[in-house]
Structure 1
Amino acid sequence: MIGIIDDDIIYQFTLMKIINDNKPGARIITFPNGKKAMQYLKDNKATNENIPDVIFLDLHMPIMDGWQFIDEYARIKIEIEKKVNIFMWSSSVDPVHMERASKKSEISKYITKPMQLEEVKKFFDNFESSYFLL
């Protein structure tokens, strides 16, 4: 399962389209902010198949931004029995954000928006298909 946490519905739609083009049949769940996603994780932590294998996490969102989500996730991840790969997804090219993300063990990679189609294909080619459960 793939989770998308982003308040921009255009980016949500675009990423869902790219995922579907590269991994047809992949289960995708979307959230408009970190708070709703965090509540979902807390409510489903006992059911591995309901926890995303991969999360694309926007940095700048209202209510709970990407950093706040990561801090909260760090507190609850021990209760989730599955490895979740979190890709911070942002239009920010600020080196401070990239450096901060690189120091968070919960973040697998920092990805700059918008992702180019070639970059997305490379991402899916390099990332193990087992993470995208149907």
Structure 2
Amino acid sequence: MKKSVLIIDNDPIYRTISHKIIEKLDLAETIYVEKNGYTAIQFLTNMLENNSSLPQIILLDIEMPVMNGWEFMDEYCKFENTLLSGIEIYIVSSSISQIDKDKANTYSEIKGFISKPLTIETLKSILA
């Protein structure tokens, strides 16, 4: 069964390319896109309030304006909703910092840290 995915990234080129690859390879049932952590939190809040189907995968950038990936995670962890427990979050970042990789490991919700650029093989393994 195909999953739905939420891409959270401020880079419009990355968002477009990721969306097109996922769409072209027919890897996801639904693809949502948000440009920063703040709009993503608003999006998830609206979905919860409307009892909408939540994305099963989140591809989260770290470096974003307004609300970065770590701030998103802090807000995300405040949700007290069991519906969110089935969501797999992957950090997708151009950061090569060991500090960022170590920080990702402190969140049980984060399933992996992927370096950009995101490859077709990586997308297939995450969304399979």
Give the structure 1 partner of residue 8 of structure 2: 5
Structure 2 counterpart of 1:34: 37
Deviations 1:37-89 (A, max 9, x none): 1011112214141x11111111000000000000000010x225241111111
Shift of 1:121: 3.1
Structure number having the greater helix percentage:
1
Task: Tell me if 1:58 matches 2:61.
Answer: yes
Return the letter of the residue paired with 2:17.
T
Q: Compared with structure 1, are the counterparts of its residues 85 and 48 closer, same or farther at alpha carbon in structure 2 (3 Å cutoff)?
A: farther
How many residue pairs align between the two structures?
123
Aligned to 1:69: 72
When the two structures are superposed, what TM-score results if normalisation uses the length of structure 2?
A: 0.87
Larger deviation, residues 37-46 vs 115-124? 115-124
| 2:40 counterpart SS class | helix
Over aligned residue pairs, what C-alpha RMSD do you find?
A: 1.7
Distance 2:64 2:31 in 1: 20
Give the Cα–Cα distance (whole angstroms) in 1 for the partners of residues 126 and 89 of structure 2. Answer: 13
2:21 aligned with 1:18: yes
Q: Secondary structure at the match of 1:38?
A: helix
**Paired-residue identity, %:** 33
What secondary structure is seen at the aligned counterpart in 2 of 1:29? Answer: strand
Stretches of structure 1 lacking an aligned partner (at least 5 in a row) = 128-134
Partners of 2:57 and 2:87 within 8 A in 1: yes
User: Please, which moves more after superposition, 100-109 or 24-33?
Assistant: 24-33
